[in-house]
Structure 1
Amino acid sequence: MAALDATLANYLLTRDSAEKERLDGQHIYLKKFAYDDRLVYDRNVELKAGSSVLDSGTGTVAWLLDLAKEVPEDVELIGVDVSPNNFPDAANAPKNIHLSLASATNLPKEWSNKFDLVNQRFMLSALLAAEWPQAVSEIFRVLKPGGRIQLCELDPRYPLEKPPALERHSEILLQGANKRGLLRYCAKELPGMLRNAGFVDVVDDAKPCPVGKALGEWGVRGATGGPAGAWWNMKDALVEQGTIGSAKEYEDLLEELVKEWDEKGIYLVTRMICATKPLES
């Protein structure tokens, strides 16, 4: 499968073995701190024989591979991404997992009213600001009436009082996102977007995620495989677009970040945003 190259131009992260390893580690970390040690955040969702699940922007397929261990074998599990680079070998995947190339903004037409649950997470470095409403609308279209959406996104507004290196880094990422047309504060906007698309019963939960050696083993994981770990793999994109002067300048800033985290630790905030497609829409 060839990547949907046109949709990759604004992506801030790499698609190499280092990023694949980080994404797999991030899945474990987010499952614990964002999803409350489960894969389906809404406890009222029941996946049974005949149910269908979509993972939009599936990446390494880690969430679906984990979910396949918990649901009946005849639950259909579908993952889509704009690139197959991080897909596992199909021969090693469960038979009920099906992977294909598709953009979150343009899902297959035949999927209307198909899915019981759609999962999507950490697309703030992938979707343009103008694309977010379309992505939400597409998820609404492909959900069955009564189906649920769960979105997991970093909320860069937190911590409210940022130490110096984190403050500077946050400004750099905001500038980088703006240059690409990304919506850095998508977590803030998503509840309203969901309501505008027709969703009801919107839930927006803030989930603190530890980062830094001072906060123990999971803090260390948060600095490497969690939300903050992605920042290392944004270096090339930020230098290429001129948001920061050189790779050395960015690496020095990251070293300052690590010092801050190791001395006191911080809590980044992800948001779990869930909603329902009404039975009559």
Structure 2
Amino acid sequence: MEPTVKREYTSSNYLLPADDVETERLRIQHRILTKAFGNQLALAPITFHSNDRVLESGAGSGIWAQELSDFHSQNNLLLDIECIDISDKQFPHEYPSNIHFSIHSVTDLPREWQNSFSYVHQRLLMAAMNDSRWNMAIDQLYDVLKPGGWIELVEVDVKGFGFGVGPNSKRLVSLITSLFASKGVVLDLGVYLPKLLAKKGFIDIQCEGRNIPIREPMDNDEFNGSKQLHDLWMGMKTPVLTGGGFGIVGSEKEFHELLEGSLKEWNESYKAYNPWYTIVAKKPLEVE
């Protein structure tokens, strides 16, 4: 069994930790996702201008924001980027002066931000969100966008999990699905989010999906999707055990054995994948 490592959690609503181990996992996940969507940091059809305000919700280490800033600064375009998260544990110590980090929840944004952002980007908040929080979050993001501004949400669709390729990984899918269901996590975000955005008044809604392979034929150690997925679920060990293992694992030892067995199956198969969606939508120019 792997040695027990104490992980840092910031909220009972969010199932993943906020620590250096998770920051490194997010870095690799960022690379995998960016590559899968054509090496584009933003799919929304927006033309940025200098001093446009951009909001990154659930920023973590801010890797996405810093790369967006670097990309546009090469064309002498300076964006004003606000990065928010519910914890500052993953915020970087050094970053450009046009990027700002602050502790805020997407369900309760500052009133002075209303109608001030040209673009909002949010990625993988699924593990922190139930139906009620999604509704509050989309209300808040609608309010802070300028008329004509764009929102972009990047999420995984739990109902479409495709990484159950053997006895261990199939049990893991059942375990994670049970954990999410116990927390009220919305599972079918590829269907749910476009409908919610339309209900809230967004227009020009587009949803682009990718079934991202866990292991590619030309995989390398740095972007090893198998290890990244293993580390993702390892981060959920505490809530799994707190929930009693959901009839699938009965101890920390069994949890580790299940993950190690799943990792072996992913490393021996090219069939495992995760379904990701990028959903973009526009706030109307004329708001009723």
Same fold (TM over 0.5): yes
Matching of residue 253 in structure 1 with residue 226 in structure 2: no
Match 1:152 to one of 148, 151, 154: 154
Correspondence 1:106-121 to 2 at 5 A? 106-121=108-123
**What residue number does 1:192 align with?**
195
Question: How well do the aligned residues superpose, as a CA RMSD in angstroms?
Answer: 2.1
Instruction: Quote how far apart the aligned CAs of 1:215 are.
Output: 5.9
Number of aligned positions between the proteins: 271
When residues 254 and 193 of structure 1 are mapped into structure 2, their CA distance, relative to the original with a 3 A threshold, is same
The 1:185–1:39 alpha-carbon spacing in structure 2 relative to 1, beyond 3 Å, is: same
Gap change, CA 1:228 and 1:151, over 3 Å in 2: farther
Q: CA deviation at 1:81?
A: 0.4
CA distance in 2, matches of 1:219, 1:189: 33
Equivalent position to 1:82, from 80, 86, 90: 86
2:134 counterpart residue number = 132
Q: Distance in 1 between matches of 2:170 and 2:71?
A: 40
- 8 A Cα contact 1:12 1:234, kept in partner: yes
Superposition deviation, residue 23 in structure 1: 1.0
Relative to the length of structure 2, the TM-score reads: 0.87
2:230 and 2:38 map into 1 onto residues whose CA distance is: 19
Asked if residue 62 in structure 1 is aligned to residue 63 in structure 2, the reply is yes
Any conservation in 1 of the 2:123–2:154 contact (CA below 8 Å)? yes
* Bigger shift: residues 247-256 or 191-200: 247-256
Tell me how far 1:131 sits from its aligned partner: 0.5
In structure 1, C-alpha distance between the alignment counterparts of 2:25 and 2:118, rounded to whole Å: 29
Q: Is the contact between residue 230 and residue 263 of structure 2 (CA under 8 Å) also seen in structure 1?
A: no
Aligned-partner SS, 1:217: coil
Report the residue type matching 1:211 in the other structure.
Answer: I
Question: Hey, what does 2:211 align to over in structure 1?
Answer: 208
SS in 2 for 1:71: helix
Shift of 1:109: 0.6
Instruction: Encode CA deviations 1:60-85: one digit per residue, 9 max, x unaligned.
Output: 11100111101245310000000000
* Structure-2 residue corresponding to 1:11: 14
Given the two structures, how large is their TM-score scaled by the length of structure 1? Answer: 0.89
Distance in 2, matches of 1:147 and 1:118, equals 8
What residue is the counterpart of 1:270 in the other structure?
Answer: 276
Local SS of the residue matching 1:216: coil
| CA spacing shift, 1:166–1:188, aligned 2, 3 Å | farther
Structure 2 spans left out of the alignment, 5+ residues: 1-8
In the TM superposition, what whole-angstrom CA distance separates every residue of 1:48-101 from its partner, at most 9, and x where no partner exists?
212110000101111001111012453100000000000001xx2000001111
1:167 to 165, 170, 191: 170
Structure-1 separation of matches of 2:19 and 2:163: 34
2:177 is matched by which residue type in structure 1?
L
Q: Give the residue type in structure 2 aligned to 1:82.
A: I
User: Following TM superposition, by how much is the alpha carbon of 1:187 offset from its aligned partner in structure 2, in angstroms?
Assistant: 3.4
Cα gap change, 1:47 to 1:228, in 2 (>3 Å): farther
Which of 35, 38, 49 is the aligned partner of 1:36? 38
- Quote how far apart the aligned CAs of 1:7 are: 7.7
- Equivalent position of 1:52 in the other structure: 53
Q: Does 1:230 align with 2:232?
A: yes
Conservation of the 8 A alpha-carbon contact between 1:236 and 1:247: no
- Which runs of structure 1 show a deviation greater than 3 angstroms over 4 or more consecutive aligned residues? 159-162
Do the aligned residues in 2 keep the contact of 1:210 with 1:219 (CA within 8 Å)? Answer: no
Corresponding letter in the other structure for 1:25: I
Deviates more, 1:161-170 or 1:210-219: 210-219
Identity of aligned residues (%): 32
CA 1:218–1:276: 2 relative to 1, 3 Å: farther
In structure 1, C-alpha distance between the alignment counterparts of 2:127 and 2:55, rounded to whole Å: 20
Change over 3 Å in CA distance of 1:241–1:267 after alignment to 2: same
2:208–2:278 CA contact under 8 A, matched in 1: yes
Q: Distance in 2 between matches of 1:113 and 1:218?
A: 43
